[in-house]
């Protein structure tokens, strides 16, 4: 059998014609790489700066001011709560509103002036060890230098203030503590959206859609019928992953399991609705698959799963806030690692609820009741 160029040419022509006819695939082949390259290229930054911090200092004097200015000058810290009480700061840290809490005791300046070596506490949210590491590494030297400058002491003279760093929620900085709960969101995102995105396209491809539409089922009934089984599948996946997180990876589980389960179920509901919306738009299962992947990539890269959320520029953070998995990641980490209370994660529940309503409405609106 020889290679015939004429036969090969015929095969190539046919492939190109088919590629051109499938406009969605063609557009995705060209547009998606460019879009994602620009999006992720500019958005991802593994050394986040301008991390929000709270300052707890009952007595605000020149030392506390010098300290906060010096920390802000490093570019890593931004004091969003410059005069918080200890309780407020604890709440902000637990809700993830600040990444650091700097606590300066009331007699700090006094003891420093007496030539003693007072302690100052910096608590870091170490649920994502990578995100906090850069900021923590600059702490000791910068803080000490600033105070010595304020005292007029040479840099080398002793004794100086002692800076104590607490890595909260994950004292050993174990990466699995961050990644494994995150994987719960990512795995669910991948399987749920992809499975439900085939829901209607499969009916269309097999020719059963015409019959389904001819029978008296309403669009809402069809949608609920399609998504409900997958909510069950999602619940099983959740139990498997959480079980594995505890048994294999020794990830601590401090918070309420019920809060976690209801959060994950809300997330699964959003995912299946998203998948169903895709299935109302895609014409073939192939297109549904491509659209799912198109949404999956930013969910991994811009949600704070793989790279620190606070490292991204503002526009990318806005984009990240719209991704359901972003809210799930924060919710899961808050409940599992920080023992967050319902009030702490209410915002994420609200965000997921809004997404569910919007996606469900869009899907019902997009659903074609006729074959037009």
Partner 1 sequence: MTAIPETAISIHGLTKSFSGRKVVDDVSLQVAGGEIAGFLGPNGSGKTTCIRMICGLLTPDAGTGTVLGLDVLRHQRQIRRQVGYMTQRFSFYEDLSIEENLNFVAGLYHLPRQVVADTLADLGLTSRRRQLAGSLSGGWKQRLALAACIMHKPRLLLLDEPTAGVDPKARRQFWDEIHQRAAGGMTVLVSTHYMDEAERCHRIHYIAYGRLVISGTVAEVIANAGLTTLTVETAEPGQLAARLRRAPGVDQVEPFGTSLHVTGSDPAALRAALAAHDATGTAAETSLEDVFIRLMGQSDDNIR
Binding interface with partner 1 (CB under 8 A): 206-211, 213-217, 369-372
Judge whether 277 and 362 are in contact, CB under 8 Å.
Answer: yes
Min CB(204)–partner 1 separation in Å: 11
- Of residues 41 and 207, the one with the C-beta less far from partner 1: 207
- Of residues 4 and 218, the one with the C-beta less far from partner 1: 218
Min CB(237)–partner 1 separation in Å: 23
Min CB(18)–partner 1 separation in Å: 19
- Of residues 2 and 370, the one with the C-beta less far from partner 1: 370
Min CB(43)–partner 1 separation in Å: 40
Min CB(277)–partner 1 separation in Å: 23
- Of residues 154 and 216, the one with the C-beta less far from partner 1: 216
- Of residues 83 and 221, the one with the C-beta less far from partner 1: 221
Containing 165, the helix (H) or strand (E) segment is strand 162-168
Min CB(370)–partner 1 separation in Å: 5
Min CB(368)–partner 1 separation in Å: 10
- Of residues 172 and 372, the one with the C-beta less far from partner 1: 372
Secondary structure (H, E, C), the chain: CCCCHHHHHHHHHHHHHHHHHCHHHHHHHHHHHHHHHHHHHHHCCCCCCCEEEEEECCCCCHHHHHHHHHHHHCCCEEEEECCCCHHHHHHHHHHCCCCEEEECCCCHHHHHHCCCCCEEEEEEECCCHHHHHHHHHHHHHHHHHHHHHHHCCCCCCCCCCEEEEEEECCCCCCHHHHHHHHHHHHHHHHHHHHHHCCHHHHHHHHCCHHHHHHCCCCHHHHHHHHHHHHHHHHHHHHHHHHHHHHHCCCCCCCCCHHHHHHHHHHHHHHHHHHHHHHHHHCCCHHHHHHHHHHHHHHHHHCCCCCCCHHHCCHHHHHHHHHCHHHHHHHHHHHHHHHCCCHHHHHHHHHHHHHHHHHHHHHHHHHCCCCCC
Min CB(371)–partner 1 separation in Å: 5
- Of residues 157 and 211, the one with the C-beta less far from partner 1: 211
- Of residues 17 and 212, the one with the C-beta less far from partner 1: 212
């Amino acid at each position: 059998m020889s290679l015939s160029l004429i036969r090969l040419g015929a095969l190539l022509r046919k492939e190109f014609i088919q590629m051109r006819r499938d406009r969605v695939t063609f557009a995705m082949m060209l547009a998606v790489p460019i879009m994602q390259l620009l999006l992720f290229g500019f958005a991802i930054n593994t050394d986040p700066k301008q991390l929000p911090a709270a300052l707890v200092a009952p007595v605000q004097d020149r030392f506390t001011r010098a300290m906060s200015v010096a920390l802000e000058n490093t570019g890593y810290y931004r004091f969003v709560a410059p005069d918080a009480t200890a309780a407020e700061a604890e709440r902000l840290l637990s809700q993830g509103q600040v990444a650091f809490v700097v606590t300066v005791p009331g007699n700090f300046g006094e003891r420093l002036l007496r030539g003693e070596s007072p302690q100052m506490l910096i608590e870091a949210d170490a649920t994502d060890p990578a995100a906090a590491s850069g900021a923590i590494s600059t702490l000791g030297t910068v803080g000490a230098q600033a105070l010595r400058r304020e005292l007029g002491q040479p840099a080398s003279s002793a004794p100086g203030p002692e800076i104590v760093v607490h890595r909260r929620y994950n004292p050993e900085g174990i990466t699995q503590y961050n990644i494994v709960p995150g994987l719960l969101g990512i795995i669910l995102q991948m399987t749920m959206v992809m499975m439900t995105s085939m829901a209607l396209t499969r009916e269309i491809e097999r020719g059963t859609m015409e019959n389904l539409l001819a029978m008296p089922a309403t669009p809402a009934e069809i949608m609920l019928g399609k998504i409900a089984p997958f909510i069950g599948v999602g619940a099983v996946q959740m139990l498997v992953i959480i079980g594995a997180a505890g048994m294999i990876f020794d990830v601590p589980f401090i918070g309420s399991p019920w809060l976690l389960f209801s959060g994950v179920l809300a997330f699964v509901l959003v995912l299946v609705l998203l998948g169903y919306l895709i299935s109302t738009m895609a014409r073939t299962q192939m297109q549904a698959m491509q659209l799912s992947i198109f949404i999956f990539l930013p969910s991994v890269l811009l949600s704070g799963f793989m790279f620190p959320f606070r490292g991204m520029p503002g526009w990318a953070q806005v984009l990240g806030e719209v991704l359901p998995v972003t809210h799930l990641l924060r919710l899961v980490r808050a409940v599992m690692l920080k023992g967050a209370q319902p009030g702490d994660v209410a915002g994420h529940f609200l965000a997921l609820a809004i997404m569910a309503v919007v996606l469900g409405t869009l899907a019902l609106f997009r659903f074609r009741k006729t074959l037009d």
